[in-house]
Structure 1
């Protein structure tokens, strides 16, 4: 009875809804469900670094390319459409409120991944033409270096990134394929960063473990609750 109470409290702490997204939730399946949950957490954590490198590469390549064509203050000199300009204004306001510097590089760092991916929507087709080759100089074949192809790739990664950062279930989103797409997008921009990513990113090793890797340890912990 005491063991059931402890397990019930465990489920409520994580939430039935969250655990239930990994399969049918009952006491007989609890070890398997928690193992899947733990593996998902580990997978998500292992993807943080690749997503970090991608975001850094993207925003810096865009800023460098756009500055070359429109000047270093392109974020505030009328190049953006209203929705993106509003996000820049909000970021600038936050920096001022926090007493931080407001030079173009500081504003660039204050803008989130969603902002940078939004610059590849159709409304920016004409604007992007002179800078796209500078942002993504290593796309092969060159015919694939189009706004639409790049926008589709970045938005697929953005949606996946949101699930990762909120520790939502990602296995049905084929994380091994998404990881390959993240690396390829980096190769399009900054291939010299890939060896550093591979040196420290544990995604491939973690993915190879599978959720079964966690089952025996989960069983031990649950058995202690009896």
Structure 2
């Protein structure tokens, strides 16, 4: 079976695992563990991303109401946003429209698909973790953070952007590694778990408690099952 896996998983892909573990057989065990812990991390990061984006979206909606009396901040992005952020919103809107069109019943031959305007929720769901991470960049300290985004973290004291920017940046990088099937065995998974728990505590202690009783045990079990590697 070892030879089969070496062939099917590809020697080049297994090489970092083999080098870290000390032998091909141990490398396969490390690869298997990497798959398992990546699954636990992906489940946890799913929660983090959804909770974070909803909290930030809520505060941006409140800022839109305060500044303009209504409407959607996605339809008239704030002037503070970078060109990249505006482009991300436009792309998210297009993806949301395409997703709605894809889910519609196939039109009659020669007919046209009815074009439905996506809701705010549709567009928000298409914005990447990276979009929300960069909303928490230091460039927004004296604008969007001060005016709105700090209120998404009611338990953060003092409300200093750097206290959330760092953890969110690290979790975004972790999310990309997991999503692209890259090795995470060299990560400090316990620290990653702590970053998630801390961030949720700033956002909502009750959600943090739920996360602690549902996702944290899975992460701890994955950490504990790590195979011994090296000489």
1:90 pairs with 2:91: yes
- SS, match of residue 210 in structure 2: helix
Unaligned runs of 5+ in 2: 66-70, 102-115
Match of 1:59 among 42, 53, 69: 53
How far did 1:91 drift? 1.1
Question: C-alpha offsets along residues 66-98 of structure 1, whole Å, 9 cap, x if unaligned?
Answer: 111113511221313211110110111122233
Distance verdict in 2 for CA 1:92–1:15, change over 3 Å: same
Counterpart Cα distance in 2 of 1:134 and 1:127 = 10
Residues matched between the structures, number? 204
Q: Higher helix proportion, which one?
A: 1
CA distance in 1, matches of 2:20, 2:127: 40
TM-score, length basis structure 2: 0.80
Superposition CA RMSD, Å: 2.3
- Contact 1:76 1:85 (8 Å CA) reproduced: no
1:144-192 CA distances to partner (integer Å, 9 max, x unpaired)? x322332222111111111122232212221111111111111111221
With structure 1 as the length reference, what TM-score do the two structures score?
0.82
Which residues in structure 2 correspond to 1:74-89 (within 5 Å)? Answer: 74-79=73-78, 80-89=81-90
Seen in structure 2, the aligned counterparts of structure 1 residues 25 and 49 have a Cα distance that, compared at 3 Å, is: closer
Does 2:172 match 1:132?
Answer: no
Q: Which runs of 5+ in 1 are unaligned?
A: 1-5, 213-226
Counterparts of 2:20 and 2:173, CA distance in 1: 27
Pick aligned residue for 2:15 from 20, 44, 47: 20
- SS of 2:23's equivalent in the other structure is helix
Alignment correspondent of 2:128:
112
Is the contact made by 1:117 and 1:154 (CA closer than 8 Å) also made in structure 2? yes
Give yes or no for the alignment of 1:70 onto 2:47.
no
Q: Which has the higher contact order (CA 8 A, sep 6+)?
A: 1
- Aligned partners of 2:120 and 2:19: how far apart in 1? 51
Query: Partner residue of 1:152?
Result: 166
2:33 corresponds to: 39
